[in-house]
Amino acid sequence: MRSFQNIAKLVRNKRVAHPNTYSQSDVSRLLGYKNGQFISNVERGLCNVPLKMLDRICEILSISKEELKAALVHDYEITLNNYLKLNKSEEAPAEKIDNVMQLPRVAHF
């Protein structure tokens, strides 16, 4: 099962605490959506923010790119663990991980 709990919490907290007191509809409209349903879905953890909207949501809600990246990476890690059926007691030993092909580094924001 996919996890969006960290991005949901980040977006909701930043929206509610923002000096402009944005409603869900306000943020959705600023992102180009017609109603607040999109941000409602994000804040309830039903979906993620599309990649093409990441810069814009950072601008609107004054989210640092590092904060956003950390939330997305944590959600992705939870998602991977869910799909791979890993939990803290079942994580792969470090020596096995060292043998896995090294993936290219992701560019920083």
Q: Per the domain annotation, does 30 fall within a domain? A: yes
Q: Per the domain annotation, does 108 fall within a domain? A: no
What pLDDT score does 78 carry?
A: 95
What pLDDT score does 89 carry?
A: 57
What pLDDT score does 97 carry?
A: 47
Q: Per the domain annotation, does 109 fall within a domain? A: no
Whichever domain contains 59, its CATH number is 1.10.260.40
Range of the domain at 30: 5-90
Q: Per the domain annotation, does 95 fall within a domain? A: no
Q: How many domains does the chain have?
A: 1
Q: 23 near 36, Cβ under 8 Å?
A: yes
Q: Per the domain annotation, does 31 fall within a domain? A: yes
Q: Per the domain annotation, does 68 fall within a domain? A: yes
Say how many C-beta atoms besides its own lie within 10 A of residue 23's C-beta: 13
What pLDDT score does 1 carry?
A: 87
pTM: 0.76
Q: Per the domain annotation, does 27 fall within a domain? A: yes
What pLDDT score does 4 carry?
A: 96
Q: 49 near 7, Cβ under 8 Å?
A: yes
Query: For every one of its 109 residues, what pLDDT tens digit does the chain have, with 9 covering 90 and above?
Result: 899 999 999 999 999 999 999 999 999 999 999 888 999 999 999 999 999 999 999 999 999 999 999 999 999 999 999 999 866 655 555 544 444 445 455 555 5
